[in-house]
């Protein structure tokens, strides 16, 4: 059986951007790479073959959601997560720590683990670092994550430090109880927006020599400049020969900036979530197909895009589907947005390899108009609140 490993292939001389390759039991994955989110064993609206057509090599599933529904034992009985969701490429399972901690009124945390009530039926559950590793080993993902405590970005420093120290203790327990050698267990660096705590967390976890390192607890409502400053601080302390994974980041401009700082892996529900709300990516920024201006446009939403949606349908047709709340609208918009991100990652890797990443980055950021910062923070806060109430 092929084990997990990471090879660093090339680093951009003018920045920290780098190209590498993840080797997993279910295929080789070029990095930098974006992981579509399929929390409940599905990337919303798409079937596996459509993901493959978009050149997706790895997806993310969520242990918390799968533990509650349909249950880890059900997936085990069905032959494991790959077989259950008919996906023969790589899978990363998040531990579900963030989902549990977002249930602030429904959980109790101690050094031993977490007691929480299900957002579905109110039933009580107790999870520990050991049980989370057991669940993920049973699911059979290629890359698995430690259980961590994710503090809010505005928590007091003392609370953030306690969460960081608990994350370190749990990471050690996860590492000690892991039995499967064919799964790569990644640690998660915490520490809020404190540079000193982030340094402490990075140094502590790298001494434990995990196969990969994730950066958690960012992009949770703090300004982008703070996010990028923390990323730069952390990456400088992580091993060069291990993959670096920035959790929860999926805006094209954020991916570009994080790649420039040495990040290899990304995941986010953003591209698929905004697609279902009628927003689509272009090389000039994000646009809303519900705008009346698209009602009579015969061209595709992004002329020159080679995704199935743009090859086949007009902007006018997508505008019509969204106005009628037709289910096909969500599928076609999702295909386009994930194709855009997949194409962006391909262009990033090519630019790093041919030595033009710095100019590619400058040209992209000049042309791409990001969502207004205050609007973005407001939207993010509403989304976080909705997740807390609807988990």
> Which residues are identified as catalytic?
94, 267
Distance CA 36, CA 348 (A): 17
- 353: nearest Cα among 273, 268, 232, 259: 259
Ramachandran category for residue 62: left, alpha or beta (phi over 0 → left; psi -120 to 50 → alpha): beta
**Look-up: residue for tokens 């059979």?**
140
The region that residue 300 occupies, defined by phi over 0 for left and psi between -120 and 50 for alpha, beta otherwise, is beta
| Under 8 Å between Cβ of 17 and 11 | yes
- Report helix angle 157-177 to 195-206, nearest 10: 10
Query: Is there a contact between 314 and 294 (Cβ–Cβ < 8 Å)?
Result: no
Token pair of 121, please?
Answer: 């039926």
Taking Cα atoms as reference points, which of 174, 131, 142, 191 lies closest to residue 35? 142
Beta strand 107-109 with 265-268: parallel, antiparallel or unpaired? unpaired
Specify the pairing of strand 107-109 against strand 184-189: unpaired
> What's the Rg (C-alpha) of the chain?
20
Of 225, 224, 226, 201, nearest in space to 214 by CA: 201
Find the DSSP H helices in the chain: 48-53, 63-68, 72-77, 81-84, 97-101, 129-139, 157-177, 195-206, 224-235, 252-260, 270-276, 308-312, 315-323, 327-353, 357-367, 373-390
Tell me which H or E stretch contains 5: strand 5-11
């Amino acid at each position: 059986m092929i084990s997990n490993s990471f090879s660093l292939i090339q680093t951009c001389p003018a920045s920290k951007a780098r190209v590498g390759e993840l080797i997993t039991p279910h295929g080789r994955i070029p990095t930098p790479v974006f992981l579509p989110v399929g929390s409940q064993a599905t990337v919303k609206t798409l079937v596996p073959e459509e993901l493959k057509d978009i050149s997706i090599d790895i997806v993310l599933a969520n242990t918390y959601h799968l533990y509650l529904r349909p249950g880890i034992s059900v997936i085990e009985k069905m032959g494991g997560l790959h077989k259950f969701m008919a996906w023969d490429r790589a899978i990363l399972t998040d531990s579900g720590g963030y989902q549990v901690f977002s249930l602030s009124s429904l959980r109790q945390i101690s050094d031993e683990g977490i007691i929480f009530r299900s957002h579905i039926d109110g039933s009580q559950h107790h999870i520990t670092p050991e049980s989370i590793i057991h669940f993920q080993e049973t699911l059979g993902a290629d890359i698995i994550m430690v259980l961590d405590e994710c503090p809010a970005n505005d928590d007091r420093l003392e609370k953030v430090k306690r969460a960081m120290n608990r994350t370190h203790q749990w990471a050690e327990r996860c590492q000690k109880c892991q039995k499967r050698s064919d799964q790569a267990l990644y640690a998660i660096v915490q520490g809020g927006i404190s540079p000193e705590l982030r340094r402490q967390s990075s140094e502590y976890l790298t001494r434990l020599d995990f196969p990969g390192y994730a950066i958690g607890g960012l992009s949770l409502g703090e300004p982008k400049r703070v996010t990028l400053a923390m990323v730069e601080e952390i990456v400088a302390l992580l091993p060069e020969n291990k993959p670096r994974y920035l959790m929860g980041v999926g805006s094209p401009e954020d991916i570009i900036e994080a790649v420039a700082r040495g990040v290899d892996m990304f995941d986010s529900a953003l591209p698929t979530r905004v697609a279902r709300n009628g927003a689509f990516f272009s090389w000039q920024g994000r646009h809303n197909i519900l705008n009346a201006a698209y009602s009579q446009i015969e061209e595709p939403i992004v002329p020159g895009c080679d995704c199935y949606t743009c090859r086949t349908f007009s902007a006018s047709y997508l505008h019509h589907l969204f106005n009628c709340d037709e289910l096909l609208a969500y599928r076609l918009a999702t295909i386009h947005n994930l194709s855009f991100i997949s194409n962006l990652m391909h262009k990033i890797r090519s630019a790093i390899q041919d030595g033009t990443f710095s100019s590619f980055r400058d040209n992209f950021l000049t042309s791409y108009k990001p969502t207004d910062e205050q609007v973005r923070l407001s939207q993010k806060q509403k989304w976080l609140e909705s997740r807390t109430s609807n988990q």
